[in-house]
Chains A and B, each alone.
Chain A
Amino acid sequence: MTKKNTSTIAKKRLTVLAGVALVFTALAVLALPGILRRLGLHPEFEGQRYLLPAGKALIICTNHDRLGEGGDETGVMASELTAPYYELKEGRVAVDVASIQGGSIPSDPQSFGRLIRTRYDERYLEDPALRQKVENSLRVDDVDFTAYDIIFLAGGWGAAYDLGQSAVLGQKISEAWAAGKVIGGICHGPLGLLQAKDAGGEPLVKGRSLTAVTDKQVEELGISITPMHPERELRAVSAEFESATAFRDFFAHHVVVDGRLITGQNQNAGAEVANLMMKAAGGTRR
């Protein structure tokens, strides 16, 4: 009798414990996106927004879709394309999307994960107009960069494979810079500045303040297989590299405005950099 009672009680306790554990796990999973946001991932942009009526912007992305030979799928980090795209669009700017080779732009599948994706990414998934632009992106060689007010370089691991390596991109950015356009990018995007020159033939980034993905972030995420690391490469051409840090740099947020050159450290900076670029291009507060 007593034995039976004890075992019943034990069973009950176990059930209750399991229940409590289940509830906590469910809560943790549900709350995780909020916790990540609190830590600094993709913070909602609450600063001053700008508009640039009748303005034009070009967002440049990678075409590279693998980490190393036959490695994991990668491409552009979705929010680095979608956040600036929608911020620019709400700023009444007409936005085109280009890539090094033109055509389809691969997205890092991780960027649509429940914990990572932003409201911009969700909007993109429902937006045939932008999807069409991403599937049929312009080829950098065919685009006159001086026809745009704003040139935005999106990052993602894929960008480490083709932005910094493209002489054409460097040439086009040099032309846009010479024409007084606003140039910028975030994360691995600023690698696209490496081959650009200013009017005197010096590297565009030389002596200019900027930011991009830190070496610490590359290390922390354990993806050093990529051929170019932004902090190392940009410092090598004498850029004044700045960054913020966090217990993981993935959560850090930093933006640098150096005249017409505007950069953001990583995926957290897309919305802010897009707005600051509209401001630099003569935009109005909205």
Chain B
Amino acid sequence: MNAVLGAPRVEVALRWLAAAVGVLLLLMGLGFLVMPELLAAGILAAEPARAVGINSLRGDFGGLFLGMGLFTLAGTLTHHRRLLSVPIAFLALIVMGRLTSMIVDDLPVVTAGALAGEVLFVLVLSLSMRSSSVRGVADRRSVSAATLRLRVALALGVVAVIVVGAFQVQRQIGLRLLAAAASSQLAVDGLEALPDGLHVGLAGTGAPLPEQRRHGGCSFVLAGEHLFIVDSGPGSTKALELMRLPLADIRAVLLTHLHSDHMGGLGELMLKAWTRGARTEPLNVVGPEGVEQVVAGFNLAYSIDTGFRVAHHPPTIAAPEGAGGVAEAVKSFDADGAAVIFQAPDLKVTAFLVDHRPVKPAFGYRFDYKGRSVVISGDTLPSESLRRQTQGADILLHEALQPEMLQIIHDAGLRGGQPNAAQLSSDILTYHTFPEEVARIARDANVRHVVFHHFLPQVPMRIFHSAFLGGTRDIFPGPVTMGVEGMVFSLPPGTSDIQMGWLL
């Protein structure tokens, strides 16, 4: 080993490799400093940063990467090879943080590439440091202090020039990026890459209580060729668009019940399915009795807008006959409270009655495709009909209300002189399911994977997950996921696999 590392050619090669790593780190640091959102989205798959986020990305990430880059270059160019231990230490800590996140965060692994890159960097830098120490390079040739100062000043100067220059040409960079993004992204169908199978994605995981990063309730189910949207809560259409769903191809929108947090986005969804996809027939909206009134209302509210668009665009974009939606109420059920609402070869979609009293009727939906199955609970108390439909499901998407957390909010409402808020939080106790109840239902029905996708109260941060779940993981033996918008679960036919992916 030492003989190989000590070979002059190897030492030089490693030095150049390490220098390349240094340049890369330096460029990333500059990138974060100049255009933090872009790098965050591209490299870290982070959410678009807000004010605090941008500030920290520029500062923290810019500083971290610039620092690592400068130390790496200093270590490779000056023969003070020990300086490499600084970036090595930071990179090792970063790898540790990533691994921690992969263990505790229960999110799709989207940063495997970054992790591999960092491990590679650590390897290159370590080997380079080792090889130079084997050869004793540092002792043999050393650079005078004056030369060193000159080089450092030079490096810092170059960095400063690049930064200032980059800020000067931000407009040009922006336009170039837009051109690249526009050609590569506009045409992309987010579902195209998914193989044949049953897929379920989360586009809205919020409840009526306001939350920064969750939209109103909305999921999509792709079964082979058939795309269904389940519920259309406020703001969720935006999430569907960001996930690049082909809205024109929607077979039907299935509403679980007629609470606003499950149908308030319907107007936007009908509009976007029409205009973005150039639909020539109105969107099918299936739901409990009353859905006719809801759809008629949205059609009426959007009719003026529809007129404007028809007047403005050619019929290839806004064909008048494709505007709005048509409602279809599910009214007849079998003795078990279930109704098959859609059937095709390999596919069966079942609506079933759940207990969200006084909201009546209220539905859950079950999708069966090529031997795989997904159940979406709708809003409900534990109910026998849900238990029947959940039997043997691969994935159960379930709502949940955490009573202990709600009690805390209730008490705070009372103390803060907001009796209405307090009353509301105790009222909703009586028509949702507790997380541990979901776990027992899923356990009894031999469900494979539980995904919570509708949260009461809000769960804005990872730190609340444990409190929200309570004893759920002790009761249900399978995986439990706290749903985040953008998640997609894929169930390939003929297997028992459940793959977690990411569309945002």
Contact = CB atoms under 8 A, between A and B. Distances in A.
Interface of A: 49, 51, 53-54, 90, 92, 128, 284-286
Interface string B409-445: 0010000000000000000011101100100100000
Instruction: Report the 8 A-B pairs with minimum CB-CB distance, sorted nearest first.
Output: A286-B382, A92-B430, A286-B437, A53-B381, A53-B430, A284-B382, A53-B357, A284-B384
Given A51-B381, A51-B382, A284-B355, 20 more contacts: A49-B437, A49-B440, A53-B355, A53-B357, A53-B430, A54-B430, A90-B403, A90-B434, A92-B381, A92-B430, A284-B381, A284-B382, A284-B383, A284-B384, A285-B382, A285-B387, A286-B381, A286-B382, A286-B437, A286-B440
B437 to A, nearest CB: 5
Contacts of B429: 92
A152 to B, nearest CB: 19
Contacts of A51: 381-382
A24 to B, nearest CB: 31
Nearest to B358: A54
A54 B357 contact: yes
Contacts of B357: 53-54
Contacts of A286: 381-382, 433-434, 437, 440
Contacts of A92: 381, 429-430
Contacts of B430: 53-54, 92
A53 B380 CA distance: 11
Nearest to B357: A53
Interface of B: 355, 357, 381-384, 387, 403, 411, 429-431, 433-434, 437, 440
B431 A53 contact: yes
Contacts of B431: 53
6 contacts: A53-B430, A54-B430, A90-B403, A92-B381, A284-B355, A286-B437
Most buried by A among B382, B383, B411: B382
A115 B355 CA distance: 41
A286 B437 CA distance: 6
A150 to B, nearest CB: 16
Contacts of B384: 284-285
A16 B430 CA distance: 59
A286 B384 CA distance: 9
A55 to B, nearest CB: 10
Nearest to A94: B430
A286 B355 CA distance: 12
A285 B382 CA distance: 7
A53 B433 CA distance: 11
A277 to B, nearest CB: 17
B441 to A, nearest CB: 8
A49 B434 CA distance: 12
A197 B430 CA distance: 34
Nearest to A93: B430
A51 B381 CA distance: 9
A49 B387 CA distance: 14
A284 B355 CA distance: 10
B438 to A, nearest CB: 10
A53 B354 CA distance: 13
Contacts of B440: 49, 286
A53 B355 CA distance: 9
A125 B440 CA distance: 28
B54 to A, nearest CB: 42
B296 to A, nearest CB: 31
A245 B431 CA distance: 41
A90 B430 CA distance: 9
A94 to B, nearest CB: 9
A125 B251 CA distance: 54
A106 to B, nearest CB: 26
A286 B431 CA distance: 12
A92 B384 CA distance: 16
Contacts of A53: 355, 357, 381, 430-431
Nearest to B429: A92
Contacts of B437: 49, 286
A283 B403 CA distance: 19
Contacts of B411: 128
Nearest to B433: A286
A90 B434 CA distance: 9
B47 to A, nearest CB: 36
A53 to B, nearest CB: 6
B253 to A, nearest CB: 28
A51 B430 CA distance: 10
A285 B443 CA distance: 13
A161 B433 CA distance: 41
A228 B424 CA distance: 45
Contacts of A128: 411
A90 B471 CA distance: 15
Nearest to A92: B430
Contacts of B434: 90, 286
B430 to A, nearest CB: 5
B107 to A, nearest CB: 30
Nearest to A286: B382
A211 to B, nearest CB: 28
B144 to A, nearest CB: 66
A277 B382 CA distance: 18
A284 B353 CA distance: 14
B175 to A, nearest CB: 59
Nearest to A48: B440
B334 to A, nearest CB: 19
Contacts of A49: 437, 440
A105 B370 CA distance: 61
A278 to B, nearest CB: 12
B477 to A, nearest CB: 16
A53 B431 CA distance: 8
A284 B431 CA distance: 13
Nearest to A50: B382
A1 to B, nearest CB: 58
Nearest to B386: A284
A285 B444 CA distance: 11
Contacts of B355: 53, 284
A285 B383 CA distance: 7
A128 B411 CA distance: 9
Contacts of A284: 355, 381-384
A49 B381 CA distance: 13
A54 B429 CA distance: 11
A128 B431 CA distance: 23
Nearest to A285: B382
Contacts of A285: 382, 384, 387
A51 B433 CA distance: 11
Contacts of A54: 357, 430
